[in-house]
Amino acid sequence: MSRVFRRTGRIAAIALVALFIGLLAYGLTTTSTDSSIDQRLRKDRAAPAPRFSLEVLERGALPQPLARRLSPALSDGRLGLGELHGSPFVLNIWASWCSPCREEAPRLQRGWERQGPRGVAFVGLDMQDIRSDARDFLREFHLTYPTIRDPGKDVARRYGATGIPETYFVSARGEVVGHVIGVVSNAQLAAGVAAAETGRPAGARRGGARRTTR
């Protein structure tokens, strides 16, 4: 009988170890940041933009011709990657608690005012934030491009963001052609927009200051 108990105990211990390893592996695969976009950009290759569908925090003010294309997409309170297909766009990941984000906000707004009428969409992705704080930030800096909200950081992880702000440039075909890690400069913003318009990869670049995500 004792031999049976010992054997049963060993089997149970092995099962617990296997379960622990399985849970650990699952946790690593589901919470780790995907670096495949930057890996492709370093080889001057575009990368398929990870899909998302997120709550619209603010619709913004869309100039023509973007209003015709995006207003219907924004009207249901959610915006997805597929709805942006056909328009090159800039995806800026930020949060109201991110001090470097304050530095680049006016720069992004100026870029939007120049590029929006030319058909280049700007989309702010507010993450790990409180709605009211995020809306206060948008009002303080008079940001008029559409903003979507991710309560966590799932989308940021899929894009490979390890901090904020980070900015991705996506072509009309839905491919990431550029990435700036940290505060984006005027020159980097212009180069990224040009890459999004032409579909030619501009690589991954280090920008200014940034904060790690929570």
- Give me the pLDDT at residue 34, please: 86
Q: State the DSSP code for 178.
A: E
Judge if 28 and 40 occupy the same domain: no
Helices 99-115/186-198 angle, 10° precision:
50
Judge if 8 and 110 occupy the same domain: no
Average pLDDT, the chain: 89
Judge if 24 and 93 occupy the same domain: no
Total of domains in the chain? 2
Confidence category of residue 13, pLDDT binned at 50, 70, 90: very low
H helices within the chain, ranges in order? 2-31, 36-42, 66-74, 81-84, 99-115, 131-140, 154-159, 186-198
- Give me the pLDDT at residue 40, please: 97
- Give me the pLDDT at residue 214, please: 76
Mean pLDDT of 69-78: 95
- The answer on pLDDT for 19 being more than 50 is no
CB 169 within 8 A of CB 192: yes
3-state SS assignment for residue 70: helix
Name the residue range of residue 3's domain.
1-32
Q: Is the peptide bond before 146 cis (omega within 30 degrees of 0)?
A: no
- In angstroms, the CA 162 to CA 75 distance is 31
Share of the chain above pLDDT 70, in %: 85
Judge if 20 and 41 occupy the same domain: no
Judge if 54 and 150 occupy the same domain: yes
- The answer on pLDDT for 75 being more than 60 is yes
203 in the Ramachandran plot: left (φ > 0), alpha (ψ -120 to 50) or beta?
left
- Give me the pLDDT at residue 10, please: 56
| Nearest one of 93, 119, 98 to 193, comparing CA atoms | 119
- In angstroms, the CA 11 to CA 16 distance is 9
- Give me the pLDDT at residue 7, please: 55
